[in-house]
Chain A
Amino acid sequence: EGQLVESGGGLVQPGRSLRLSCAASGFSFDDYGMHWVRQAPGKGLEWVSGISWDSGSIGYADSVKGRFTISRDNAKKSLYLQMNSLRTEDTALYYCGKDLAEGGVAGYYYYGLDVWGQGTTVTVSS
């Protein structure tokens, strides 16, 4: 089934940086794509960023492109999100998630997040 545990959230001033981490267990981490999804207070789900099993394919939402960087360390079974130049509108609960699709030689494809962490809260405020 798998388990994901996010950490690194907190209160930060606008313009500053924060790094989120997501520790995976219970599944073969290096076989699956991973994602970050957020939910701002009172808003819907927003996909933030995704990374393929081998880091060969990476994508970002337009709202974070150029400011956020996703990465993974398969040896440590960990996913990261480096968030720079934070804005008040980045305030949200951030989830990491595992994609259902198993990576491999067939190319990069995704089915959606079948395992989610409980989230870590990021508050950007002066």
Chain B
Amino acid sequence: DIQMTQSPSSMSASVGDTVTITCRASQGISTWLAWFQHKPGKAPKLLIYGASSLLGGVPSRFIGSGSGTDFTLTISSLQPEDFATYYCQQTVTFPHIFGQGTKVEIK
């Protein structure tokens, strides 16, 4: 199985900050990577697929990059609604394992 490791597991940031979350695959997955945002009591939301393609309707401050084994999600100019937990997920082969999540909290 391809394991996904995210870092950090949590972080504190202020509105307006730029934050970066990293995700590493245990083996190369090309660009078969998705990023999700999850808020308590709500269903997760797909932000980015194919490592860098923004889903329609997602603000352009969410930027995904990377290929192979190393990926990043950058959120520029953090907004109040961005405080949530973020997950990466590899989609190249079953099982489609998620990273353990990164909780972005208000400083």
Which residues on A are within 8 Å of B, measured CB to CB? 35, 37, 44-47, 50, 57-62, 95, 100, 109-114, 116-119
Contact = CB atoms under 8 A, between A and B. Distances in A.
Contacts of B61: none
B95 A61 contact: yes
A100 B49 contact: yes
A112 B101 CA distance: 16
Contacts of A112: 34, 36, 46, 49, 89, 91
B100 interface: yes
B95 A60 contact: yes
Interface residues of B, number: 25
A119 to B, nearest CB: 7
Contact of A59 (B38, B94, B98): B94
Interface in B77-100: 85, 87, 89, 91, 93-100
The listed residue with most B CB atoms (<10 A of its CB), out of A58, A116, A118, is A116
B43 A116 contact: yes
A46 B94 contact: no
Nearest to B9: A44
B43 A95 contact: yes
Nearest to B100: A44
Nearest to B49: A111
B16 interface: no
B106 interface: no
B19 to A, nearest CB: 18
Contacts of A100: 46, 49, 55
A45 B87 contact: yes
23 contacts: A35-B96, A37-B44, A44-B85, A44-B98, A44-B101, A45-B36, A45-B38, A45-B87, A45-B98, A47-B95, A50-B96, A58-B94, A59-B95, A62-B95, A95-B43, A100-B46, A109-B91, A110-B32, A110-B96, A111-B91, A112-B34, A113-B46, A114-B49
Contacts of B43: 95, 116-119
A111 B30 CA distance: 12
A82 B21 CA distance: 35
Interface in B26-46: 32, 34, 36, 38, 43-46
